Structure 1
Amino acid sequence: MTLQNPVYAALTGPHSTFAETRGNARCYPKAIAPFLGLPDNPTAEDWSNAAELLGAGTTAALMRPDLPVPDTFKLDRQFDLVQYVAPPTLAAEYDEAVVLTWDDVPEMLALVALTDPGPFRSRTIELGTYLGIRREGELIAMAGTRFALPTHTEISAVCTLPSYRGQGLATHLIRAVAAHIASAGRTPFLHTGGTNTRAIQLYESLGFTLTNSMKVTVVEAV
């Protein structure tokens, strides 16, 4: 169930060095990502460890098939998520894409705030390689890698300033990030909201295959 439980697969695998742990519960540092990872079939002890790991009043997001939330947590919100795996023909370099660095983080955070592609925080850049496109010095689009699983790497933070949409920039960046992933012998995959028809249409037009329908469940430890 690796792809059905990507956060846990990452935090017990290639991203284990980032993991904050208690028992079987895992989470990323808050400045990196808001995600909580639990085993495929969490026990009461796993949930108890997760509550202690996060601390009362702290929220975190589970990304996996739906599961009951115990009394040690309060359900904050929940929404549908779909997961896609890239075709082997996706990868393509793009000359205009540049590697983003720590110096670019303030602009990356500003772009995310304007476009809302999903969680991106002050240290998220540590999770992988992020590529951007600049026009007249301004960062107008970006995409990068987030969850690293044993055989797959996630494409994430795909976003473009509204005034530059419709030029195929997201497609170029997705292909360029996929090329980076493929060069390491890994398979690209990604997630988007189940009602994000614009993104779903783009990914399916690029040949992505639907692999899982999941939930993002935001919970608060009590």
Structure 2
Amino acid sequence: MLNNPVWAALTGPQACFAEAAGNAARFLPEIAPFAALSDPADPAAWRDLATITDQAVLTGPSISSPPGWQQVEVTQGVQMIGQSMSGVDDPDAVQLTEKDVPEMLDLVARAQPGPFLKRTIDLGRYLGIRDGDGRLIAMAGERFRLPGWTEVSAVCTDPAFRGKGLGARLTLAVAAGILARGDLPFLHTTHDNENAIRLYGRLGFVHSADVVFASYRLG
């Protein structure tokens, strides 16, 4: 299941956010850019994907597209799981809602944690920390949800406030909510983000798999 988390999410707990055709599915465009195939090695699944979109981001241990699809960009990443970790609630973390989305998008633009769109917040619980003037300076939340697992995502801090442990605190707080619900947390980061990998390791996450994030377009 963790080998193909987007497929497990879109055909499971997050099917309400999916557009699907046969052995392919994608998140609604305003939710997330990710798509998935039941088997990325199956050319028929790619043909199904072509009926619902002409461009998509896929993730997994290995992805190779058939003729007709062009790889636009690929990023090496790692998947980490928190199977034996403990979350910690944070008294300063506030739950973010739809009214906070403009601020969240502004923070994402400055901190660049990865894809976050105007309706990504619909996927799960997002927490934030504000400074003394009420400005959102850090956030983290939930993205892919599959049976028994929920991904911690969009962990980011305003560059002016980095080095204060805010990302770690929010990661643990989001993980606490996931664990309380009975799921286990997991996350992704880029392969070359050594600081993040070390941080998540200190928080109790362990390496699960090397993965790729690859974008494709048809034609």
TM range, smaller chain: over 0.9
Which stretch of structure 1 is more off in the superposition, 41-50 or 90-99?
Answer: 41-50
The answer on whether the counterparts of 1:48 and 1:72 sit within 8 Å (CA) in structure 2 is: no
The answer on whether the counterparts of 1:47 and 1:72 sit within 8 Å (CA) in structure 2 is: no
Partners in 2 of 1:42 and 1:79 — Cα distance? 19
Q: CA shift at 1:129, angstroms?
A: 0.4
Q: CA shift at 1:215, angstroms?
A: 0.6
Q: CA shift at 1:41, angstroms?
A: 4.8
Q: CA shift at 1:206, angstroms?
A: 1.4
1:168 is aligned to 165
SS in 1 for 2:31: coil
Q: Pairwise mapping of residues 23-102 of structure 1 onto structure 2 (< 5 A)?
A: 23-55=22-54, 59-102=55-98
Question: What one-letter code is carried by the residue in structure 2 that aligns with 1:137?
Answer: G
Task: Flag structure 2 segments of 5+ consecutive residues without an equivalent.
Answer: none
Write the deviation string for residues 147-184 of structure 1: whole angstroms up to 9, x where unpaired.
00101000000000111111111111011000110111
Q: CA shift at 1:42, angstroms?
A: 4.1
Q: Size of the alignment, in residue pairs?
A: 218
Q: CA shift at 1:43, angstroms?
A: 2.0
Question: What one-letter code is carried by the residue in structure 1 that aligns with 2:52?
Answer: L
Task: Flag structure 1 segments of 5+ consecutive residues without an equivalent.
Answer: none
1:8 aligns with 2:4: no
SS in 1 for 2:73: strand
Which stretch of structure 1 is more off in the superposition, 46-55 or 97-106?
Answer: 46-55
SS in 1 for 2:168: helix
Pick one of 124, 127, 130 that aligns with 1:128: 124
The answer on whether the counterparts of 2:79 and 2:210 sit within 8 Å (CA) in structure 1 is: yes
Pick one of 151, 156, 160 that aligns with 1:159: 156
* Percent identity between the two aligned chains: 46
Structure 1 runs of 4+ with >3 Å offset = none
Write the deviation string for residues 84-107 of structure 1: whole angstroms up to 9, x where unpaired.
011533311100000000000000
The answer on whether the counterparts of 1:133 and 1:141 sit within 8 Å (CA) in structure 2 is: yes
